[in-house]
Amino acid sequence: MTALWVAVALVVAGFAGWPVTALVFKLARTIDDKADAAKAAEEARAAEEDPSADVTVDDPSPASPGPRGGTVPAAGADPVPDPDPARDAAGGAGNQAVDRELTATPGRPASNGPAAEPAAPSQRILRGGAIIGVLERLGVCLAILTGQPVAIAYIVAIKGLGRFAELKETPVAAERFIIGTLTSMLWAAGTAAAVKVLFLH
């Protein structure tokens, strides 16, 4: 009978803990999303109330040189003719060719430019976390059921050393690591303690 309860505790702690951990991750993500939305709304409200946002600057120059030696009139003024219309007739085709060379179709590289590099695939963080979580919960539950809680320290140390490089480089991974580890350990420890007190005393 004792072996049966130990097996039940291991199954509940190891495999039923995965949906619990996923639920905690979802709750944490929801809280973060609400905090980000509130911060964005506060920034937008502050930008609307900022008086410097209503300041406009007028263009003082009435006209500016045109691309082919002519002038570009200011808003509301009559257009100024190009002083050399023959140059327009002779250089029209050349200008069109230059425009075609300098303008690239969206999604395609320029004719004389380097080929566009493919987008780097997104790298998954904390790979193998589900399997590691199951093994962690099984180890914690077994350590409590056998009266060896010191073994939990070894489990945490092995997991932390294995994830150290990734946790150092990715702050998001560190946050998920802490949430997942604490949730798994609390679930496994609670399950093992409940079974031990209720059925194995």
**What residue segments make up the domains of the chain, in order of their start?**
15-41+131-199
Express each pLDDT in 137-191 by its tens digit.
999 999 999 999 999 999 999 999 988 888 888 888 888 899 999 999 999 999 9
3-state secondary structure the chain: CHHHHHHHHHHHHHHCHHHHHHHHHHHHHHHHHHHHHHHHHHHHHHHHHCHHHHCCCCCCCCEEECCCCCEEECCCCCCCCCCCHHHHHHHHHHHHHHHHHHCCCCCCCCCCCCCCCCCCCCCCCCCCHHHHHHHHHHHHHHHHHCCCCCHHHHHHHHHHHHCHHHHHHCHHHHHHHHHHHHHHHHHHHHHHHHHHHHHCC
pTM above 0.85, yes or no: no
